[in-house]
Every structure is written in C-alpha cells, then in structure tokens.
Amino acid sequence: MTASPPAPPVRSGLLAEREFLEIRFGGTGGQGVILMGVILAMAATRDHRQVVQTQSYGPEARGGYSRSDVIIADHPIDYPQLSGVDLLVALSQESASGYAKQLRPDGLFIYDSEKVVELPRVTGPSYGIPFSRLAVEEVGKAQTMNVLTVGAVVGITGVVSVDGIRRATMEMVPKGTEELNGKALALGLSLDPGDWLAIVT
C-alpha cells in the first residue's frame, strides 16, 4: 500500500494563487535583507515548491546597497535571474527608487514607511509599514526588523505558508534569538493589510 502524497500547504494572501513569482528584497547593508531572502526561500522549499535565491551586495557591507532575489514556482525554474518583479519589498529610499521600475503592472510594493518617503509611481497595490519603528517599539529590538518584515510580507501576500515561514525562521535565526524573533514574526503575520494600504499618486 503506497502512502498518499502530503496535502499541499495552505497559502492565503494577495499572491497565494500565483504559480510563478519573482520577488526582490532591497535595502542597505546591515538591515538583514539577505537573511530575509534566505528565510523566504527556505520556507518555499518547506512548501515543496521550486526555488532559486540570489543576492548582491554593494561596495560597503554596511551602508551600501543590498538586495536578495527569490523565484518561487510550481514547476522547474530554467533561468535564475529575475525578468521582472511581482513583489518588491523596499527598506531604503534607494532600493524603492531604483527597483520600482522593474515592478510589473500588477505587482505589489511593500516598503518601510519611515525609510521610504518619496514614493515611486507604481500601478499595483502599495503597503507602507513602519517596520523599523515597530521592531523597536513592539518587539524591543531593532535587529528583529527583518523577521518582522518577512512576517508581514507572508501575511499580506501568502507567497509561502504560515507553517513554512515559521519553520524556516526558527531554523535560520541565530541560536538564542528564537523567542525574540518568534515574537517579531508573529507581529508581522498579524498586521492587517487594510491598515497599511498606501495611496500612491
């Protein structure tokens, strides 16, 4: 008797039904952008999907630009570079201004509302959330901002399952920080997208 395949994980959000997604996290060195991409990619593998994750650093480790790209698909991925962006997560003004032109017309734009003050013109939905401030005021540590952001991204978009992102986060964060980062992830997942929908004119 053969075992039946596991049930597909439940994903819920604005991008949950898409079979192919190109995602970019952009920010500055020291914000944990690379870890965000790695955690999301790991979560997608936990959801039994195909994944490619790449990253790029600026000339300075801290203060320079940093980006992490993730491709998630239900079928084999034949090209490892982004041809466009379905979801842009910007944690700095430079990343918002520089990468917004690659965002597809129906793509989502999620940004730190305290770091990105000059909003680029986009045609899809935009969500401005003060990730850095919430990390300090609600979690108690600025360094949890990246995990909080990943939680909000998953809560809004459903690009991976909640179970997948929880497992991946606990596997990837530094030992001894699991409780604090778990609190940050839970806060991000709990944010109501309707509270943060931005009007970009």
Q: What is the pTM of this model?
A: 0.93
Domain ranges (residues) in the chain? 20-190
Burial profile 37-56: b = 16 or more Cβ within 10 angstroms, e = fewer: bbbbbbbbebbebebbbeee
Q: Please report where in the chains the tokens 């999907």 appear, as a residue.
A: 49
The per-residue DSSP string of 114-131 comes to TT--SPPP-SS-EEEE-H
pLDDT of residue 191: 97
**pLDDT < 70: residue spans in the chain:** 1-7, 58-64, 200-201
38 close to 160: Cβ distance less than 8 angstroms: no
CA angle 104, 105, 109 (to 5 degrees): 70
pLDDT of residue 65: 78
Contacts of 137 (CB under 8 A, 6+ apart): none
pLDDT of residue 201: 57
Structure tokens at 81: 């570079």
CATH architecture of 20-190: 3-Layer(aba) Sandwich (3.40)
